[in-house]
Chains A and B, each alone.
Chain A
Amino acid sequence: SQTIHQWPATLVQPVGSPLSLECTVEGTSNPNLYWYRQAAGRGLQLLFYSVGIGQISSEVPQNLSASRPQDRQFILSSKKLLLSDSGFYLCASWENTEAFFGQGTRLTVV
């Protein structure tokens, strides 16, 4: 089965600073990849998905962007963080009928 690696596990960033979260996948090729955000005590909100290199679709207009420079690499970025960007960010991959999630990055914007 797949393994999703995400880093860093926690991050504290000031408002207005840039962001780069990286996700890499092992154990599969050409996966569909997803970025989710989870606010405290809430469900997961789908932010971006990618079906291949350079192919990004956004679900929600926002201050964030995503890129997929390699088959098994998915990056979430921001040029200038807002307080509302705080949350728990999860990278996921979908294979057949099961989704695999990374351990997440907890981002606090101060």
Chain B
Amino acid sequence: DAKTTQPNSMESNEEEPVHLPCNHSTISGTDYIHWYRQLPSQGPEYVIHGLTSNVNNRMASLAIAEDRKSSTLILHRATLRDAAVYYCILRDVIRDTGRRALTFGSGTRLQVQP
């Protein structure tokens, strides 16, 4: 199963951009790159996903390296509400049936300073 590597924690100041990196050197050609974030004592929420091209939505931007072995989640202006654990995830094939699910690593804990 393809794995992702993220820094354990990052800090940012409010109103500044944040770049959250993720390495996924064993990604397969059909794996989508997903980002979720989790606030304390809540379930993860979807942020953004992409396959090859950079993606933008109202929450964030996703920059994907040309070789797809790494990606970066970009929060253009961090707010205090963006403090959360951010997970970079590849869609994994479940071994016995081929169904796809999401496998979560430890993620990056983002702290936003006022």
Contact = CB atoms under 8 A, between A and B. Distances in A.
A49 B94 contact: yes
Query: Which of B32, B46, B87 has the most C-beta atoms of chain A within 10 angstroms of its own C-beta?
Result: B46
- Size band of the B side of the interface? 20 to 34
B30 interface: no
Contacts, number: 59
A57 interface: yes
A90 B101 contact: no
A-side interface mostly: strand
B41 A104 contact: yes
A46 B101 contact: yes
Given A92-B43, A104-B43, A51 B104 contact: no
Contact of A44 (B99, B100, B104): B104
A36 interface: yes
A102 B41 CA distance: 11
Interface in A56-97: 57, 59, 88, 90, 92, 94, 97
- Size band of the A side of the interface? 20 to 34
A99 B94 contact: no
Given A44-B104, A57-B94, A90 B43 contact: yes
Contacts of A103: 42-43
Interface of A: 4, 32, 34, 36, 42-46, 49, 51, 57, 59, 88, 90, 92, 94, 97-104, 106
30 contacts: A32-B99, A36-B104, A42-B106, A43-B105, A43-B106, A43-B107, A44-B103, A44-B104, A45-B104, A46-B102, A49-B94, A51-B99, A57-B97, A59-B94, A88-B41, A90-B43, A90-B44, A94-B100, A94-B101, A97-B32, A97-B34, A98-B46, A99-B102, A100-B46, A101-B43, A101-B45, A102-B43, A103-B42, A104-B41, A104-B42
